[in-house]
Structure 1
Amino acid sequence: MAKGGKQKRTGANEAENRRRPGRPPGPPLSEEEEKKKREEKNRKDREYRARKTSSK
């Protein structure tokens, strides 16, 4: 395996954000909006997976 050096820690805040992807700041979405967003994400996910498998 490749020998990895310790990475310099640039911006503790950035690392925090990467480690814990929370909700984006702002007013919480209503149930309706939440549902719409989830469905949209699922649809995109499915399309992406379908594209990947069909190209084989």
Structure 2
Amino acid sequence: MDLRSAPWRKASRSHEEGDACIEVASAPGIVAIRDSKNPDGSEVIIDHEEARTFSRIIKSL
């Protein structure tokens, strides 16, 4: 899936000067996650239900 033109957004808890930032993009049926420092690198692609589960787990940490 080509996500180069997808609207990526930085995670709300990321800091401009931080080194642990992720970006997410949503497309029909999927959510993609990538390292903001390496936008040309690989993405993790999951479906929307997996994204909701992932979000709940991260928020509980």
TM-score by length of 2: 0.32
**What TM-score do you get using the length of structure 1 for normalisation?**
0.34
Name which structure has the greater RCO, CA cutoff 8 Å, separation 6+: 2
Q: Which has the higher helix share?
A: 1
Larger Rg: 1
